[in-house]
Amino acid sequence: MSNVTTNFNDRTIEYEQLLNDFKSLLKKNNLKFTIQREVILDTLYNSDEHLTPELLHHRIQSKHPQLKTGIATVYRTLALLEDSQMVTSLSFGAQGKKYELGAKEHHDHLICTECGTITEFVDEDIEKRQHDITDELGFKMSDHSMQIYGICKKCQKQL
């Protein structure tokens, strides 16, 4: 394999930037910037993993017990963020949706069916082919997502 253009976990978005985007978004829609909303954004940002609403809620409760953030607020905020394209959701397994930050910072997913870990990657060749395909069909692509399921290196050793 020669010219490999694949990059893994190339995180580039700054939190400041993100927070500003969020604030602009809120202002633009006459919405308010609340502690809960900030904590949710922050928790999402500081999680490498993809979080379920439940997990996110739990993590917030542990870290900010005084807030008593309700699960409803988590759902409401995730919906808001998803509508605004600030987070993306992935459906994984039988049930449940997992959320991650940064739709702008596009990447695809390697999902280990043993441990549930999601690894992100971007491959230029695939991205290019996707555009070729949609162009060919006159399909106006707005987004795409790819998931590869299998067993990660670590889990293979343990089996």
Partner DNA sequence: GTCGCTGCAAAGTCTTTGCAGAGAG
Partner DNA sequence: CTCTCTGCAAAGACTTTGCAGCGAC
Give the binding site for DNA (CB under 7 A). 26, 29-37, 52-54, 67-73, 75-77, 79, 94-97
Instruction: Say whether residue 140 binds a second copy (CB under 8 A).
Output: yes
Instruction: Say whether residue 142 binds a second copy (CB under 8 A).
Output: yes
The partner in contact with residue 58, picked from a second copy, DNA, none with C-beta cut-offs of 5 to 8 angstroms by kind, is none
Q: 20, 27 in Cβ contact below 8 A?
A: no
Instruction: Say whether residue 121 binds a second copy (CB under 8 A).
Output: yes
Six token digits for residue 27: 């202002």
Backbone angles phi, psi at 112, to 5 degrees: -85, 120
Residue indicated by tokens 């996707």: 130
3-state secondary structure of 109: strand
| Residues 44-103, interacting with a second copy (CB under 8 A) | 91, 97
The partner in contact with residue 4, picked from a second copy, DNA, none with C-beta cut-offs of 5 to 8 angstroms by kind, is a second copy
Q: Which residues contact 86 (CB under 8 A, 6 or more apart)?
A: 18, 21, 22, 25, 101, 102, 103
The residue from 12, 30, 62, 138 that contacts a second copy (CB under 8 A) is 138
